[in-house]
A and B are shown apart, each in its own frame.
Chain A
Amino acid sequence: MSLPYSKKVIDLFLNPKNVGEIPDPDALATEGSPACGDMVTVYLKVDKKTSRIKDIKFKSFGCASNIATASIVTEMAKGKTLEEAKRITWKEIVEELGGLPPVKIHCSILAVDALHAAIINYEEKHGLVKEKIPTDENLIKKRLRHVIDPNTGKDIVGSRLIESIRIKEGKITIVLNIDVDNQFANAIKEEILEKLKYRWDVKEIEILFHH
Chain B
Amino acid sequence: MKDGRRVYLDNATTTRVDSRVIEEMVRFLEKDFAVPSSIFSHKDGLIAKEAVEKVRKLICKNLNVKEGEIIFTSGGTEGNNMVLKGLLNKIKGKHVITTGIEHLSVLNVIKFLEREGVRVSYIPVDSYGFVDLDKLKTLITKDTALVSVQYVNQEVGTVQNLKKIGKIVKEKGVLFHTDAAIGFPYFDIDVEEMGLDFVTISAHKFYGPKGVGAIYVRDLSLLSPIFHGGYNEFNLRPGTENVPGIVGLGKALEIFNKNENQKVKELKYYLLKKIKEEIEDIRVNSPVDKSHPGILNITFYFIEGESIVLRMDMEGVSLITGSACFSKSLEASHVLLSMGLTHEIAHGSIRFSLSKYNTREEIDYTVEALKETVRFLRKLSPLKREE
Contacts and interface: CB of A to CB of B under 8 A. Distances in A.
A39 interface: yes
A84 to B, nearest CB: 26
B152 to A, nearest CB: 26
A16 B376 CA distance: 11
A91 to B, nearest CB: 21
A3 B306 CA distance: 13
Interface stretch (B85-93, B307-315, B355-363): B307-315
A14 interface: yes
B321 to A, nearest CB: 10
A201 to B, nearest CB: 28
Interface residues on chain A, size class: 20 to 34
B49 interface: no
A41 B331 contact: no
A19 B330 CA distance: 26
Contacts of B382: 30, 39-41, 59-61
Interface in B346-387: 347, 379-383, 386
Given A61-B302, A150-B330, A35 B310 contact: no
A65 to B, nearest CB: 8
A16 B380 contact: yes
B44 interface: no
Given A34-B347, A183-B329, A19 B380 contact: yes
Contact of B314 (A14, A39, A103, A187): A14
Interface string A169-185: 00000000000000110
A11 to B, nearest CB: 11
Interface residues of B, number: 28
Nearest to B302: A61
Contact of A60 (B311, B314, B332, B381): B381
Contacts of B313: 3
B126 to A, nearest CB: 22
Interface string B296-308: 0000001110110
Contact of B381 (A59, A104, A150, A183): A59
B273 interface: no
Contacts of B332: 37
Given A61-B302, A64-B307, A64-B310, A36 B343 contact: yes
Interface in B325-343: 325-326, 328-332, 342-343
Contact of B344 (A34, A66, A184): A34
Nearest to A59: B382
A107 B386 CA distance: 25
A39 B314 CA distance: 23
Contacts, number: 79
B312 to A, nearest CB: 12
Interface in A157-205: 183-184, 186-187
A122 to B, nearest CB: 19
Contacts of B52: none
A19 B323 CA distance: 23
B344 A13 contact: no
Nearest to B325: A63
B342 A61 contact: no
Contacts of A61: 302-304, 381-383
B325 A60 contact: no
Interface in A35-86: 35-41, 59-67
Contact of A38 (B310, B325, B326): B325
A65 B382 CA distance: 16
A155 interface: no
* Residue among B306, B332, B344, B381 with most chain A CB within 10 A: B306
Interface string A89-119: 0000000000000011011000000000000
Nearest to B326: A63
Nearest to A34: B344
A164 B313 CA distance: 44
Contacts of A184: 329-330
A30 B380 CA distance: 14
A36 B324 CA distance: 8
28 contacts: A3-B310, A13-B310, A13-B311, A16-B380, A21-B386, A34-B347, A36-B324, A37-B325, A37-B343, A38-B304, A38-B325, A40-B382, A59-B381, A60-B380, A61-B303, A63-B306, A63-B310, A64-B306, A64-B310, A66-B304, A103-B330, A107-B325, A150-B330, A183-B328, A183-B329, A184-B330, A186-B329, A186-B331
Interface of A: 3, 13-14, 16, 19, 21, 30, 34-41, 59-67, 103-104, 106-107, 150, 183-184, 186-187
Closest 3 CB pairs of A and B: A59-B382, A187-B330, A63-B306
Given A34-B343, A60-B381, A61-B303, 8 more contacts: A19-B379, A36-B324, A37-B304, A59-B380, A61-B383, A63-B304, A66-B304, A187-B331
